[in-house]
Amino acid sequence: MQLKGEHLAAQLQRELKPVYLVYGDEPLLVIEAADAIRAAARQAGFDEREVLVAGSAFNWNDLYQAAGSMSLFAGRKLIDLRLPAGKPGRDGGAALQAYCARPSPDALLLVTMTGADWREEKAAWVGAVAAAGAVVKLIPPGLAELPAWLAARLARQQQSADAAGLRFIAERVEGNLLAAHQEILKLEILYPSGALRLEQIREAVLNVARYDLDGLREAMLAGDVLRLTRTIDGLQQEGEAPPLVLWAMTEEVRALAQINTGLEARQPLPELLKEARVWGARQGQIRKALQRVNGGRARAALAQAARIDRMIKGLASGDVWNEFLRLGLNIAVV
């Protein structure tokens, strides 16, 4: 079956198909749809998961081996197959067609890719997936549809905005859903549940200090202690909201912890970066930080961030800004 992205959640509630192909040009949408399928699979008893990255040297026999090799103590398996090139190639297409003709009854195959062109959409292997399971094409919203998309995101965090507020955000994040996602998260951090006024949205989205927050992230990941110290002091002097500072720092710490966990499981770094939603120039910054920060250190930093969160909420005592500096130094210093 062919499935639109907005119908995926309802389909997953009805039944799980043995094979899914999830693809589109917007990585955020592909990641979120794949996450929804993984969550449904876990709930349905697919306790084991194996990640396969089909690069140029990939052996397609590994797909059959993954479907046939089940752990003695596990139930069913989710095979998480990523196509970084946006297509499987001739051998891969043939292997996927053969698999879809006789899918394993004890496995769910999830295939994800970004950047596929129209020729790949018409390939025989895509038709085989549609016949055996579901093909989910994710189309990013245009400017006309973006306000409704933003409204749905706000509703998930028990917030809302009027048409003017939604249009204000949409005009500033058009063509960049990751930026839109970050702006929505920022609104949740800064404001309580309920209706948001245009003035609140304008203040959050146009807050020039967010560039300093970008500088804070960069200094922490680069190990630039002087810049880190100067930026934290500047943010404090400007009266920047502590929840926003914590969000900016924690986002990087969480990415480091998640990627380190994958590296410990011998997963490839390029795929881990995508899974952690690390794009563009930020990839180089995270790679540099990974040379200093191992999994244990990143997880300890997450625990430290949780303590700062309790301080901000008045549930623990301490100087929040001193703790921000300590958290940053724990990531920046070798």
| DSSP states of 236-291 | HHHT--HHHHHHHHHHHHHHHHHHHHHHHTT--HHHHHHHTT--THHHHHHHHHHT
* Contacts of residue 264, Cβ cutoff 8 Å, sequence gap at least 6: 295
In the prediction, which pLDDT does 159 show?
A: 97
Cα–Cα distance measured from residue 96 to residue 67, given in angstroms and rounded to the nearest whole number: 12
In the prediction, which pLDDT does 57 show?
A: 86
In the prediction, which pLDDT does 234 show?
A: 86
* Contacts of residue 18, Cβ cutoff 8 Å, sequence gap at least 6: 103, 104, 105, 107, 108, 109, 132, 133
Cβ count near 140 (within 10 Å): 18
In the prediction, which pLDDT does 207 show?
A: 58
Residue the block writes with tokens 């990255």? 53
3-state secondary structure of 87: coil
Cα–Cα distance measured from residue 54 to residue 81, given in angstroms and rounded to the nearest whole number: 7
- Residue 141: φ, ψ to 5°: -70, 140
Cα–Cα distance measured from residue 310 to residue 246, given in angstroms and rounded to the nearest whole number: 11
Cα–Cα distance measured from residue 97 to residue 94, given in angstroms and rounded to the nearest whole number: 5
DSSP state at residue 193: S
3-state secondary structure of 16: coil
In the prediction, which pLDDT does 177 show?
A: 87
In the prediction, which pLDDT does 70 show?
A: 60
Structural domains of the chain sorted by starting position, each given as residue range(s) with its CATH number in brackets: 2-138 (3.40.50.300), 146-205 (1.10.8.60), 209-332 (1.20.272.10)
* Contacts of residue 135, Cβ cutoff 8 Å, sequence gap at least 6: 1, 2, 3, 20, 21, 23, 126, 129
3-state secondary structure of 160: strand
pTM: 0.71
C-alpha 93 chain-centroid distance: 27
Cα–Cα distance measured from residue 127 to residue 134, given in angstroms and rounded to the nearest whole number: 10
Q: Can you give the pLDDT of all 334 residues of the chain as single tens digits?
A: 999 999 999 999 999 999 999 999 888 999 999 999 999 999 999 989 999 999 888 999 999 888 876 655 557 899 999 998 889 999 999 999 999 999 999 999 999 998 888 888 899 999 999 999 999 999 999 888 999 999 999 999 999 999 999 999 998 888 788 888 988 998 998 899 999 999 999 988 875 455 578 889 999 999 999 889 989 988 888 888 899 999 999 999 999 999 999 999 999 999 899 888 888 888 999 999 999 999 999 999 999 999 999 999 999 999 999 999 999 999 999 7
How are strands ordered across the β-sheet holding 48-53? 2-4, 134-138, 19-24, 107-114, 77-82, 48-53
Cα–Cα distance measured from residue 291 to residue 288, given in angstroms and rounded to the nearest whole number: 6
Cα–Cα distance measured from residue 145 to residue 47, given in angstroms and rounded to the nearest whole number: 37
In the prediction, which pLDDT does 208 show?
A: 47
Which of 167, 116, 185, 177 shows the shortest CA–CA distance to 141?
A: 177
Helix (H) / strand (E) containing 134: strand 134-138
